[in-house]
Amino acid sequence: MAIIETRDLTKHYFLGKKKTVIGLEKVNLQVNQGEIFGILGPNGSGKTTCLKLLLGILFPTAGEAYIMGKNPHDINMKQHVGFLPENPYYYDYLTGPELLRFYASLFSLETQTTNARIEQLLELVELHNAKKLHLRHYSKGMLERIGLAASLINDPEILILDEPTTGLDPIGCRDTRNLLLQLKQQGKTILLSSHFLSEVERVCDRIAIFHRGNLLALGTLDGLNKQYQATNLEDLFVKTISSFDNQEAAKTGDVT
């Protein structure tokens, strides 16, 4: 059953003087309940645009997006969603527990539940020893980990993560990967964007490859490898993108 869905989701950025940049072009996606779904693509391919449209931060030029059958601006739907932005920044003057408490209050969680969640999450992301440290003293990896904890404060059914392993060292990447698999076992649906192919390969049930705002491929890794006669994800990634670029070049007569 699709818990996240987009129908011909399109986003064009208007830069004035009739200049338009395509952020996303008629994307149709369905993310099923309980799966880990990865959006892959080079920089500027539309991964973050897609996530922002799903979360109601951006408005679509055309098409529709739904989470749990609700539109992205539905307040009740957001009660069940957790989000980790790319390279997260938080309020410098807060400590980790204070940040989590602030976000918990926005979900109207009860004090007892909040306290228990904070302890549990700090333990989970291994920041329990940094409880009194202000966020301005956090390293990039620590910020990523507190961000992950913040995205889980409401015990969400759906977790949307934009480049969750950016800034993490190999051990941090492994821990995040294990955490995602653990969350999947708990029945959570996870939608993540990344350009770290190996991470995606190890955790995602299905993937989508984006390039220049277009959805080029969608399916399980095995299925896509067969379809594109690729040996692994990297090979698949290169083949789909090169094929698209060649088609585009052919259209404009610029064949190399």
Partner 1 sequence: MKKMWLIGLNTFRESMRKKTLYIILIFALIVIGASKLFSFLTAEEELKMIKDVSFSAIEFFGALMAIFGSLYAISTEIERRTIYTLLTKPIRRSDFVLGKFFGVSMIVLINFILMTVFFIGLLFFKKSPPDLQVFKTLLLIFFELMLISGITLALGTFTSDAFNIICSFFLYIVGHLTSYGKELVERTENIIVRGLTDMLYTLVPNYENFNIRDKIVVGLNVSWGYVGWTILYGILYLCIALYIALYFFEKREI
Nearer to partner 1 (CB atom), residue 51 or residue 215? 51
Which residues are CB-neighbours of 81 under 8 A, at least 6 positions away? 55, 67, 156, 157, 158, 159, 160
Question: What is the rounded CA–CA span in Å between residue 5 and residue 136?
Answer: 37
Nearer to partner 1 (CB atom), residue 92 or residue 169? 92
Q: Which of 21, 62, 69, 93 is in the footprint of partner 1 by CB under 8 A?
A: 93
Kindly state whether residue 81 participates in binding partner 1, applying the rule CB under 8 A: yes
Cβ-count burial 53-71 (b if 16+ within 10 Å, e if not) = bbbbebebbebebbbbeee
Kindly state whether residue 56 participates in binding partner 1, applying the rule CB under 8 A: yes
Residue with tokens 């009740």: 76
Kindly state whether residue 145 participates in binding partner 1, applying the rule CB under 8 A: no
Amino acid occupying residue 26: K
DSSP 46-71: SHHHHHHHHHTSS--SEEEEEETTB-
Nearer to partner 1 (CB atom), residue 125 or residue 221? 125
Span 96-135, contacts to partner 1 by CB under 8 A: 102-103, 105-108
Kindly write out the interface string for residues 156-195 of this chain, putting x where it contacts partner 1 by CB under 8 A and - elsewhere. ----x-----------------------------------
Shortest Cβ distance from residue 68 to partner 1 (Å)? 13
Burial class (CB in 10 A: 0-12, 13-18, 19+), 74: middle
| The two three-digit tokens of residue 37, written as one number | 């779904």
Kindly state whether residue 21 participates in binding partner 1, applying the rule CB under 8 A: no
Kindly state whether residue 14 participates in binding partner 1, applying the rule CB under 8 A: no
Shortest Cβ distance from residue 70 to partner 1 (Å)? 12
Burial class (CB in 10 A: 0-12, 13-18, 19+), 174: middle
Burial class (CB in 10 A: 0-12, 13-18, 19+), 139: exposed
Nearer to partner 1 (CB atom), residue 87 or residue 220? 87
Kindly state whether residue 88 participates in binding partner 1, applying the rule CB under 8 A: yes
Shortest Cβ distance from residue 95 to partner 1 (Å)? 12
Kindly state whether residue 55 participates in binding partner 1, applying the rule CB under 8 A: yes
Kindly state whether residue 62 participates in binding partner 1, applying the rule CB under 8 A: no
Residue with tokens 């390969």: 201
Residues forming contacts to partner 1 in the complex (CB under 8 A) are 55-59, 75-76, 78-79, 81, 83, 85, 87-93, 102-103, 105-108, 147, 150, 160
